[in-house]
Amino acid sequence: MKELLSGNEAIARGAYEYGVRLASAYPGTPSTEILEYIGERYPEIIAGWAPNEKVALEVVAGASYGGSRTLAAMKHVGLNVAADPFMTLSYTGINGGLVIVVCDDPEMHSSQNEQDTRNYAKFGKVPCLEPSDSQEAKDMIGEALEISEQFDTPVIFRSSTRISHSMSLVELAERKEGKRELGLKKDPVKYVMLPAMARKKHPLVEQRLKDVAAFAESFPYNKVIMGDTSVGIISSGVAFQYAYEVMPKASFLKLGMVWPLPEKMIRDFSSKVDKLLVIEELDPFLEEAIRLMGISVEGKNLTGRCGELSPEKLEIAITGKSSAKSIGSIDIELPMRPPNMCPGCPHRATFTALKKNKVYVAGDIGCYTLGALPPLGMLDNCLCMGAGIGIASGLARTLKDVAGGKAVAVIGDSTLFHSGMTPLLELAYNGGHSTVLILDNRITAMTGAQHHPGTGFTLREEPSVNVSVEKLCESFGLKRVKTVNPYKIKELEKTIKEELEVSEPSVIIARAPCALLKTGRVLPDKPFRIKQDVCTGCKSCINTGCPALEFVKIDLPEKGKKRKGFSRINAALCVGCGTCQEVCKFDAIEEAS
Amino acid sequence: MSQDRVYNVLIVGVGGQGIILASDVLGKVAAKHGYDVKKNEIHGMAQRGGSVSSHVRFGKTVRSPIIKMGEADILLSFEQIETLRYFPFLSVKGQVVVNNQKILPPSVFTGQQEYPQDVLERIKTKAPSAIVVDGESVAAKIGNLRVLNVIFLGVLSKFLDIPAETYEKTLKESLKPKLVDINLKAFNEGRSMAPA
């Protein structure tokens, strides 16, 4: 019996079936579930969250050096963080098979850019495999581990949102252990990348790429499907599925290995078709490589480089129109429905206090990035994980009095442990008047509640360290460190004001657990209510953007009142955080009895 | 339903309404019935009140995990204006099943924008066979608002050729034991609401 698995479930299953002994990751959409499934389902695999992707890859490298089959998982931008170990891991090579699963996010459903990971494979001179459905995702983890061991190389396994989060049927198999002997092996020429050793390694890396390219000619996941020869399509990943759906009669060369490329196979295929097309998402990666072979090919001039493809986009790009008979659209203006902070979210309280201080906010990545959206509109930049503190520091030190007392950085607890500690150290070291707000909600929230070194638990819910943010700051030599309850907005507002006024670095830890967490809960889970006759309709509560609040307009003027409407609380959504009550100047909000 | 064709069901609504569970169950039901299945949704932000859509496709062989715009056979919508957001995905011969619930987006509950008027009438003008279900009332009658998604699965089941027993068996396998009875009730209630 086949099982319906998502791409991420299938990758986790592949790790299990093909003898992976250790897996490490930092959460990031669309890759997060891979390690979650490994943690839940496969106790045979040693698995844990790493503070960031660089560490995940280093832990995996160590396990591989000791002979274990290993897997690291991350989103596309995670490989930027892990790029340093990645680039030289290509030189040292591996011992036990090593797979780096990297999930791209074309269309940026949940990302800050849409970089194409295939470029990293070329840059690092390592093979890159790309599955087209869940069965391939599972099976090709096995292929990736074999290739890794056969050619002494890390292997990039590229997924994308539409592979990782699509479900399809998968035939399961039993687990087979890896073949390498486990143990400590001294081999400095292979593993110590001093210049003299690295110089010997580089030519081997170049030769390895040629060897893998020769292997790619007979790699079973590079396959030709001959049909009508007027058009031949070279494609991979989910783009292959769209192309096959739209042009079922065409000839295809479906690549399971997108780097290095099987040149002979590509030449042979192109010689059999009248016109050659490359269908790929994002960069013209295959197209340019094929054109360099001197083969005439089309692709990006039709499909474009930005965003993801879809069956209709592809059909329109190739044939000029869609063959589907749509019912059409109903043309009225629809309000957008962006994601929003949840009712009771402590970040809403923190941003409300920041808004009262009218500050410039250097942001970071997490649920609090949603603070950029109206009605809060309180984030002024967001670059990458851990960037906010450094940006605030740079602004403060160059603008001096212009930014003094007016700029802060915000960063979450998980992001602080990921890559915020070193910029905080820089701030302590080089000084300046920056104020850093650490929004400590006790979890990695944006990706769906994963543990980190500050939660006290591991991936498998085993008790572990619970890093003290206060002590961490103190050990960096920061003298002004205050901890506040964000729901006490007036108090937080006052603390922010005080810290903005001092001319040395300061840290405010705004600590309250994520409103979705069931453990350590401080929220009463009892709704508030608005005294309708007392409410003046000033919208102070509405402007916090809480989804449990609603502004009810009044059409006919009321006797003796100027208000245009009043606020109302949806008792089914309200968890009683009290943020609205804190901002209400008219005592119109009370606990519902 | 012919043996060779692919059936396309698009389930839409707002994060937190149980859309992903409904599409998971539908996918498993179709697989159990012997179909090839692919299903896809964008999640990650689903819990945070955003617009959610889940594509479920099944048939002899399914290639793309997402439905081609204009080829959805059924648009199962848990919220009024979300129906409109995904309307062009529906085929000209497609069936709409819509919950009459309105969930206000941020720009509406903060008083910046109006919630569009006469949404259900507009849907019926364009798709006369559309079925409107008062999902919240039915769920309240059953005794748990969270069964809304399974009520809609019940309505949907009448438009597909898979026997009710397959849904019931899948629900029993997919849910915690204490939730099985109430969800089976919700499924059958939904099923009884669709035209025979």
A324 interaction partners in chain B (CB closer than 8 Å): 68-71, 91
Residue A397 tokens, joined: 């030190």
CATH assignment of A3-216, given 3.40.50.720, 3.40.50.970, 1.10.150.120, 3.20.20.70?
3.40.50.970
DSSP E strands: which ranges in A343-474? 360-362, 407-412, 435-440
The angle at the Cα of A165, spanning A163 to A167, to the nearest 5 degrees, equals: 80
**pLDDT given at position A347:** 98
- Chain A stretch 389-418, residues whose beta carbon is closer than 8 A to a beta carbon of chain B: none
Dist CA A139 CA A283 (whole Å): 26
User: pLDDT by residue for chain B (196 residues), tens digit each?
Assistant: 456 799 999 999 998 899 999 999 999 999 999 999 999 988 655 566 889 999 999 999 999 999 999 999 999 999 999 999 999 999 999 999 999 999 999 899 988 899 999 999 999 999 999 999 999 999 999 999 899 999 999 999 999 999 999 999 999 999 999 999 999 999 999 999 988 7
Residue found under tokens 């970071």:
A364
CA distances from A228 to A199, A235, A251 (A): 49, 16, 6
A358 has a chain B CB within 8 A of its CB: no
Strands B90-99 and B131-133: parallel
A30 has a chain B CB within 8 A of its CB: yes
User: B6: which residues sit within 8 A by CB, 6+ positions away?
Assistant: B57, B58, B59, B60, B61, B62
**pLDDT given at position A300:** 98
Q: Which of A523, A542, A245 is nearest to A376 (CA)?
A: A542
Residue A411: burial class (beta carbons within 10 Å; 0-12, 13-18, 19+): buried
Specify the CATH superfamily of domain A346-511: Thiamin diphosphate (ThDP)-binding fold, Pyr/PP domains (3.40.50.970)
Instruction: Point out the residue among B28, B105, B113 whose CB comes nearest to the CB of A4.
Output: B28
Q: Note the pLDDT tens digit of each residue in A564-573.
A: 999 999 998 9
Strands A128-129 and A257-259: antiparallel
**pLDDT given at position A191:** 98
**Structural domain tally of chain B?**
1
Q: Which of A440, A401, A439, A438 is nearest to A423 (CA)?
A: A438
A329 has a chain B CB within 8 A of its CB: yes
Q: How confident is the model at residue A428 (pLDDT cuts 50, 70, 90)?
A: very high
Dist CA A411 CA A368 (whole Å): 8
Q: List, in sequence order, every residue forming a beta bridge with A5; answer none if it has no partner.
A: A168
Q: Note the pLDDT tens digit of each residue in A186-232.
A: 999 999 999 999 999 999 999 999 999 999 999 999 999 999 999 99
**pLDDT given at position B2:** 52
Q: What number is the average pLDDT over the span A115-119?
A: 98
CB A148 within 8 A of CB A142: no
Dist CA B194 CA B138 (whole Å): 13
Please state, for a pLDDT cut of 90, what percent of chain A lies above it: 95
User: A122: which residues sit within 8 A by CB, 6+ positions away?
Assistant: A259, A285
Range of the domain at B77: 6-193
Q: Note the pLDDT tens digit of each residue in A49-105.
A: 999 999 999 999 999 999 999 999 999 999 999 999 999 999 999 999 999 999 999
Whether residues B87 and A245 touch (CB distance < 8 A) is answered with no
Task: Report the residue of chain B nearest A108, measured CA to CA.
Answer: B42
If you average pLDDT over every residue of chain A, what do you get? 97
Whether residues A168 and B68 touch (CB distance < 8 A) is answered with no
- Chain A stretch 200-229, residues whose beta carbon is closer than 8 A to a beta carbon of chain B: none
CATH assignment of A223-319, given 3.40.190.10, 3.40.50.150, 3.40.50.1000, 3.40.50.920?
3.40.50.920
Query: Same CATH topology for A3-216 and A346-511?
Result: yes
Whether residues B68 and A370 touch (CB distance < 8 A) is answered with no
Dist CA A356 CA A547 (whole Å): 20
A563 has a chain B CB within 8 A of its CB: no
B38 has a chain A CB within 8 A of its CB: yes
**pLDDT given at position A561:** 85
Q: List, in sequence order, every residue forming a beta bridge with A259; answer none if it has no partner.
A: A128
Task: Report the residue of chain B nearest A540, measured CA to CA.
Answer: B110
Q: Is residue B17 part of a domain?
A: yes
Dist CA A78 CA A25 (whole Å): 9
**Phi and psi angles of residue A226, each rounded to the nearest 5 degrees, phi first:** -85, 130
B40 has a chain A CB within 8 A of its CB: yes
Strands A275-279 and B51-59: unpaired
Q: Is residue B114 part of a domain?
A: yes
**pLDDT given at position B185:** 98
B50 interaction partners in chain A (CB closer than 8 Å): 337-340
| pTM greater than the 0.80 cutoff | yes
Phi-psi sector, A137: left (phi>0), alpha (psi -120 to 50), beta: alpha
Q: How many residues belong to chain B?
A: 196
Residue B129: burial class (beta carbons within 10 Å; 0-12, 13-18, 19+): exposed
- ipTM, two decimals, is 0.96
CB A286 within 8 A of CB A236: yes
**Helices B135-142 & B177-193 angle (0-180, nearest 10):** 140
Q: What number is the average pLDDT over the span A495-519?
A: 96
- Chain B stretch 100-119, residues whose beta carbon is closer than 8 A to a beta carbon of chain A: 104-113, 115-116
What is the count of residue pairs from A and B with beta carbons less than 8 Å apart? 184
Q: Which of A279, A300, A298 is nearest to A237 (CA)?
A: A279
How many CB atoms lie under 10 A from the CB of residue A295? Answer: 17
**pLDDT given at position B44:** 53
**pLDDT given at position B4:** 76
**pLDDT given at position B118:** 96
- Mutation target vs A (from B109, B120, B169, B174; most A CBs, 10 A cutoff): B109
Q: What is residue A100's DSSP assignment?
A: E
**pLDDT given at position A572:** 87
Outline where A194-345 has alpha helix (H): 195-216, 237-246, 263-272, 285-292, 300-303, 311-319
How many CB atoms lie under 10 A from the CB of residue A546? Answer: 31
Identity of residue B62 = V
Dist CA A373 CA B112 (whole Å): 14
Whether residues A324 and B47 touch (CB distance < 8 A) is answered with no
Dist CA A131 CA B101 (whole Å): 40
The CATH architecture one would assign to domain A528-591 is 2-Layer Sandwich (3.30)
Instruction: Point out the residue among B40, B85, B106 whose CB comes nearest to the CB of A334.
Output: B85
Whether residues A327 and B94 touch (CB distance < 8 A) is answered with yes
**pLDDT given at position B114:** 93
Whether residues B70 and A551 touch (CB distance < 8 A) is answered with no
Q: What is residue A457's DSSP assignment?
A: B
Domain ranges of chain A: 3-216, 223-319, 346-511, 528-591
**pLDDT given at position B43:** 67
**A394, HSE (Cβ side, Cα atoms, 13 Å):** 7
A341 interaction partners in chain B (CB closer than 8 Å): 48
**pLDDT given at position A420:** 98
User: A575: which residues sit within 8 A by CB, 6+ positions away?
Assistant: A343, A344, A515, A523, A524, A525, A527, A548
In order, the DSSP letters of A548-588 are TEEEEE-SSPPTT---SEEEEE-TTT-----HHHHH-SS--
Whether residues B109 and A375 touch (CB distance < 8 A) is answered with no
Q: Is residue B1 part of a domain?
A: no
Whether residues A545 and B105 touch (CB distance < 8 A) is answered with no
Instruction: Point out the residue among A110, A168, A315 whose CB comes nearest to the CB of B37.
Output: A168
Q: What is the number of helices (H) and of strands (E) in chain B?
A: 8, 6
Identity of residue B160 = L
Whether residues A565 and B44 touch (CB distance < 8 A) is answered with no
Q: Return the CATH number at B89.
A: 3.40.920.10
User: A409: which residues sit within 8 A by CB, 6+ positions away?
Assistant: A361, A362, A363, A364, A388, A389, A391, A392, A393, A434, A435, A436, A437
CB A380 within 8 A of CB A356: no
**pLDDT given at position B170:** 98
**pLDDT given at position A284:** 98
